[in-house]
Structure 1
Amino acid sequence: MIAKTNAIVLSKIKYGDNDLIIKCYTKQFGVVSFLQKGILKSKKGKIKKAYFQLLTQLQLEITYQDNRSLQYIKEVKPHVIYATLHNDILKSTIVMFLSEVLSTSLQEEEENESLYAYLETTLQWLDMQHSCANFHLLFLLKITKHLGFYPEQDLNNAAFFNLKEGRFEEKPTDFYSVSGGNLTLLKQLLGTVFDDLSEIKINAAQRQAFLAMLLLYFDLHLGSFKKPKSLEIFNQVFNT
């Protein structure tokens, strides 16, 4: 069938000499992969490879079949044109890192309007900000609400948080019970909205430690999750 849907680009890989496989999170169908033949060779076609920068928001007209692993794009145009996301070094590093996290975290091939709206609005928010060093921390924490493992906030005055169980606890129960600086920052971020993110003041070491904890949290709750290959580069860029 022919369908129109908004989409956010998660990844793209070269296939053969001239083709691309583009993985998107779509508003109508969830995760969908597309095969675009000849896109790396042809300069005359309507569909250009420049449309498919990571986390770009697009409007697509596609041919879609449930039993096909690779779909086809008939027409594409920008839905949102970012002002800074791909030309600011810090933001483009965030884009590279988060697209990799999302590509392994998002697996459902079904509609999820609230998750799509979250991605759409937070990326547009980031595009408009001057300060972005802690964006990825709040972004990853808040998206767990849509992925099904948002921290239970009962006993949120407790001295520990169990990553495996996703809940606060009075006493440590196993290896995955965390406390100290990571716990303090977790409680801060749980009570923070994006517009107040600039009020969170942490240094590079605290940022990296909390990110490592978040990635472990994702790994414990998502069977598909893989440690991002871009993590080392990401930490180097934000090591200030």
Structure 2
Amino acid sequence: MLTHTQAIVISALKYGEADLIVKAYTLSDGLKTYMLKNVLKSKKGKFRASMFQSLTRLEIIANHRGADRMEYLKDAKVANNYMSIYTHPVKMTMAIFLAEMLKNTIREEEGNPALFNYLEYSFEFLDTTERIANFHLVFLLNLTKYLGFQPEQEKNDFPVFNLLEGVFQEIPINDYCIEGKNVDVLKKLLGIDFDALEHIKMNKATRNEFLNMLLLYYELHIEGFHKPKSLSVLKEIFG
């Protein structure tokens, strides 16, 4: 079926000498994988490798044949040229990290307009803001809503958060119950939008501890999840 839709690039992997295998999250059909033939060598083709950098938003025309198929693009153009993500080294590092997180968490090959719109809005905000130190924390926390394991905010006056159940409690009941500073940060970030980032102050140690907790939360709720390879670089930069 020939489909005209928007897509956000998640990853691009070199295949052979000149081909690319591109994973993208599409508005119409969720996660799709495309084979781009000879794109790394041809100077006359309609596709350029630079179009498939992490988080690039595209307008594409593709023949979508169904789930679990390698698809082929008929046409593509950049829908929104980011102003700073690919030129700002810290933003670029964050973009690589977030793209890895999306690659490790999104599996559904079906349309989810709410998730697509969230990703589109988030990356446009990242492109235009200068307050980025805690952006990834808010992004990942809010992403859980669309992945189906958002922390419940009921009883958020309780001092314990159960990572396994995603709820606040009065006392710990298993090895995945956390207390203290990470719970305080969780309560502060739950439900906020990126506009509130300017009011969030966090030192390196607190930020890294909370990120480690978030990644454990993802690991507990997504089968086969593994930490991004770019995690160590991200932590180093925000130190």
The bucket for the TM-score relative to the shorter chain is over 0.9
Runs of 4+ in 1 over 2 A off after TM superposition: none
Q: Which residue of 2 aligns with 1:36?
A: 36
**Offset at residue 192 of structure 1 (A):** 2.0
Q: In structure 2, how many angstroms separate the alpha carbons of the residues matched to 1:70 and 1:237?
A: 36
**Offset at residue 189 of structure 1 (A):** 0.2
Q: Secondary structure at the match of 1:10?
A: strand
Taking a change above 3 Å as real, the CA distance of residues 32 and 130 of structure 1, as seen in their structure-2 partners, is same
Q: Which residue of 2 aligns with 1:199?
A: 199
Number of residue pairs the alignment of both structures matches: 239
Q: Secondary structure at the match of 1:35?
A: strand
In structure 2, stretches of 5+ residues that fail to align are: none
Q: Which residue of 1 aligns with 2:213?
A: 213
Q: Which residue of 2 aligns with 1:104?
A: 104
> Structure 1: which amino acid aligns with 2:11?
S
Superposed CA deviations along residues 49-95 of structure 1, whole A, max 9, x for unmatched, are 11001000000011111156210011111111101111111110100
Cα RMSD (Å) of the superposition?
0.9
Q: Secondary structure at the match of 1:71?
A: strand
Taking a change above 3 Å as real, the CA distance of residues 215 and 68 of structure 1, as seen in their structure-2 partners, is closer
**Offset at residue 224 of structure 1 (A):** 3.3
Q: In structure 1, how many angstroms separate the alpha carbons of the residues matched to 2:68 and 2:204?
A: 45
Q: In structure 1, how many angstroms separate the alpha carbons of the residues matched to 2:67 and 2:116?
A: 23
> Structure 1: which amino acid aligns with 2:216?
L
Superposed CA deviations along residues 185-230 of structure 1, whole A, max 9, x for unmatched, are 0000014221111101000111100000000000000013111111
Q: Which residue of 2 aligns with 1:54?
A: 54
Please state if 1:17 is matched with 2:23. no
Q: In structure 2, how many angstroms separate the alpha carbons of the residues matched to 1:115 and 1:109?
A: 13
Superposed CA deviations along residues 78-120 of structure 1, whole A, max 9, x for unmatched, are 1111011111111101001000000010000000000000000
Q: Which residue of 2 aligns with 1:153?
A: 153
**What fraction of aligned residue pairs are identical, expressed as a percent?**
44
Taking a change above 3 Å as real, the CA distance of residues 67 and 120 of structure 1, as seen in their structure-2 partners, is closer
* Aligned 1:67-78 pairs, distance under 5 A: 69-78=69-78
Q: Which residue of 2 aligns with 1:2?
A: 2
> Structure 1: which amino acid aligns with 2:4?
K
Q: In structure 2, how many angstroms separate the alpha carbons of the residues matched to 1:46 and 1:113?
A: 28
> Structure 1: which amino acid aligns with 2:57?
Q
Q: Which residue of 2 aligns with 1:235?
A: 235
Superposed CA deviations along residues 1-44 of structure 1, whole A, max 9, x for unmatched, are 21111000001111111100000000000000000010011011
* Aligned 1:173-188 pairs, distance under 5 A: 173-188=173-188
Superposed CA deviations along residues 116-151 of structure 1, whole A, max 9, x for unmatched, are 000000110111101100000000000100100000
